[in-house]
């Protein structure tokens, strides 16, 4: 792990249609850190992630991503250096696994017309297919793939340009227990093979955190409730406060578990 700064949000406010969505958000992510953004539905997690991905601009405050400040950099060029995994990927065409991965080179949902991938791109696809357990599935089409296969394919797509930052927006959505465990094992394997890769994962289920998670931020009502090393943040007291409900937190074999306690 290096101390190279990947991302910094300073005093970020975000207002949408006169409604305050985020207030005074501060977050710094260094190379090799694996952050989890956790909080109730509607807390503002996905909005924070959209700032990290250079999709939204802050109303107030500043956002620096990969050395560039939003508002002063070429957004399209910046986004090409950010991997983004969204399980609601809006693909309507029956692209194959290989074709979906190749769209990561252009940052598009569909294959670009008249765009021809070079030999380096094909070699990179081969490496990712092997690393993410997709060997033998390269010709499977998007409509016929399971959610787990889609998830691994989307990680490969996001990693194609070898980005220093990977964003995962509720990546376990729609997965059954077995597929979820396979997916989390894939993420752990990715972290071990790419130790300098910085990741930010959004979820409201602690059971969906990979064992390689290093840091966590609890978000409540658009504000940071707590942030720092995961073991210091993901505690019974802080999580209960964040969700306004008594929740017991345990960590076993590197994985977090949450159990609601009976209210007095």
* pLDDT on residue 108: 84
Q: Does domain 1-81+166-264 have CATH number 3.40.50.300?
A: yes
Contacts with 52 (C-beta within 8 Å, 6 or more apart), sequence order: 7, 9, 27, 29, 63, 65, 82, 165, 167, 200
Q: How confident is the model at residue 74 (pLDDT cuts 50, 70, 90)?
A: confident
pLDDT in tens, 27-60: 999 999 999 999 999 899 999 999 999 989 999 9
154-187 residue pLDDT tens:
989 999 988 999 999 988 887 888 888 888 998 9
The yes-or-no verdict on residue 246 having pLDDT over 50 is yes
Where do the domains of the chain lie? 1-81+166-264, 88-162
Mean pLDDT across 138-156:
90
User: How far apart (Å, rounded) are the C-alpha atoms in residues 162 and 152?
Assistant: 15
**Residues 235 and 36: beta-carbon distance below 8 Å:** no
In angstroms, the CA 71 to CA 59 distance is 11
Report the percentage of the chain scoring pLDDT > 90.
Answer: 62
User: Cα(172)–Cα(78) distance, rounded to whole angstroms?
Assistant: 26
- pLDDT at position 5 is 95
* pLDDT above 90 for 88: no
Report pLDDT digits (tens) over 226-244: 999 999 999 999 999 999 9
Average pLDDT, the chain: 91
Mean pLDDT of 144-154: 89
| pLDDT (mean) for 184-193 | 90
| pLDDT confidence bin for 3, thresholds 50/70/90 | low
- Asked whether the beta carbons of 171 and 85 are under 8 A apart, the reply is yes
The reported pLDDT for the residue numbered 80 is: 81
Condensed to tens digits (0 to 9), the pLDDT of residues 13-24 reads: 999 999 999 999
Query: Can you give the pLDDT at residue 1?
Result: 39
Share of the chain above pLDDT 70, in %: 98
Rounded to whole angstroms, the Cα distance separating 64 from 3 reads 16
């Amino acid at each position: 792990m290096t101390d190279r700064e990947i991302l910094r949000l300073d005093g970020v406010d975000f207002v949408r249609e006169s409604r305050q969505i985020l207030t005074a958000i501060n977050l710094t992510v260094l190379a090799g850190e694996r952050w989890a953004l956790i909080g109730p539905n509607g807390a503002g997690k996905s909005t924070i992630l959209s700032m990290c991905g250079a999709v939204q601009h802050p109303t107030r405050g500043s956002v620096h991503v990969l050395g560039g400040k939003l508002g002063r950099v070429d957004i399209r060029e910046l986004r090409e250096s950010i991997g983004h995994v969204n399980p609601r990927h809006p693909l309507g065409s029956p692209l194959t696994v290989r074709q979906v991965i190749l769209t990561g080179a252009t940052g598009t949902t569909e294959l670009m017309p008249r765009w021809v991938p070079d030999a380096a791109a094909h070699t990179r696809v081969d490496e990712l297919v092997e690393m993410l357990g997709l060997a033998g599935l390269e010709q499977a089409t998007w409509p016929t793939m399971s959610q787990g296969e889609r998830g691994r394919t989307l990680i490969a797509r996001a990693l194609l340009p070898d980005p220093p930052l990977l964003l995962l927006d509720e990546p376990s959505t729609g997965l059954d227990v077995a597929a979820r465990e396979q997916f989390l094992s894939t993420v752990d394997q990715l972290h071990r093979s790419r130790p300098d890769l910085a990741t930010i994962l959004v979820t409201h289920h602690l059971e969906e955190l990979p064992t390689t998670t290093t840091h966590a931020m609890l978000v409540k009502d658009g504000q940071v409730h707590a942030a720092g090393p995961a073991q210091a943040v993901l505690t019974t007291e802080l999580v209960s406060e964040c969700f306004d409900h008594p929740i017991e937190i345990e960590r076993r074999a590197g994985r977090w578990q949450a159990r609601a306690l009976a209210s007095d």
